[in-house]
Amino acid sequence: MPRPLTDRERAAFLAEPRVAVMSLPSDDERPPLAFPVWYAYEPGGQITYYTHRTEPKSRKLRLIHEGSVLSLCVQREELPYKYVTVEGTVGEENEAPTAEQRLAIIRRYLAEDDARAYLAAEIESGVAIVLFTIRPDRWAGLDFGEDAG
pLDDT in tens, 21-30: 999 999 889 9
Confidence of residue 71 (pLDDT cuts 50, 70, 90): very high
Domains in the chain, number: 1
Q: What is the CATH number for 30?
A: 2.30.110.10
Of 127 and 112, the one with more pLDDT: 112
Which residues in 43-145 belong to E strands, given as ranges?
47-53, 69-76, 82-94, 128-143
pTM, two decimal places: 0.90
**Does 52 map to a domain?**
yes
Tell me how far apart the alpha carbons of residues 53 and 125 are, in angstroms, rounded to a whole number. Answer: 12
Residue 148, pLDDT above cutoff 80: no
**Does 148 map to a domain?**
no
Q: What is the mean pLDDT of residues 114-128?
A: 95
**Does 66 map to a domain?**
yes
Q: Look at residue 42 in the predicted model and tell me its pLDDT.
A: 86
Confidence of residue 62 (pLDDT cuts 50, 70, 90): confident
Residue 113, pLDDT above cutoff 80: yes
